[in-house]
Amino acid sequence: MGRPKKKIDYEMVKKLGGLMCTQEEIASCLDMCTKTLQRDPEFSLVYKKALDAGHMSLRRLQMKAAEKGNTAMLIFLGKNYLGQRDKFVEEELDEMTNQLEKWKRLTTGVEPGLFDDLIEKEQEVEANN
């Protein structure tokens, strides 16, 4: 005869899962082994549902912060949901190198100073923006 089966407090699982606690944290709080929880089919359902509710709650708060103009939250959501990212120095260098190579190909054999007026106008436009 084995030891008595531990009873799982599903209401506590629901509360802790909603706070996005890990299974290890919940097991510790309930004073039982993680494997005991994982073997219980009802635990898995309650935990998954509570964890999803916690994720939705967090996402709702993030969207509210973004709607209020929280720049950091807008950047975070853009990167994580829209695939946006910061440019890295290497990418900028590659882009500049490509532009320089293109410029060299376009100006090969052209007399010096021919594009000076065009360059000055372009710099003025950039300075005014």
Q: What is the pLDDT of residues 21-56, one digit of tens each?
A: 999 999 999 999 999 999 999 999 999 999 999 999
Residue that wins the pLDDT comparison between 11 and 59? 11
Main-chain dihedrals φ then ψ at residue 19, nearest 5 degrees: -90, 5
Over residues 1-13, mean pLDDT: 87
- Predicted local confidence at residue 30, as pLDDT: 96
Structure tokens at 19: 């706070």
Over residues 61-116, the pLDDT tens digits come to 989 988 998 888 888 888 887 788 877 777 777 888 888 887 777 767 666 666 67
Residue 121 has pLDDT above 80, yes or no: no
- Reference 13, options 4, 2, 22; nearest CA is 22
Structure tokens at 39: 């073997």
- Reference 21, options 46, 2, 42, 40; nearest CA is 46
pTM of the model: 0.58
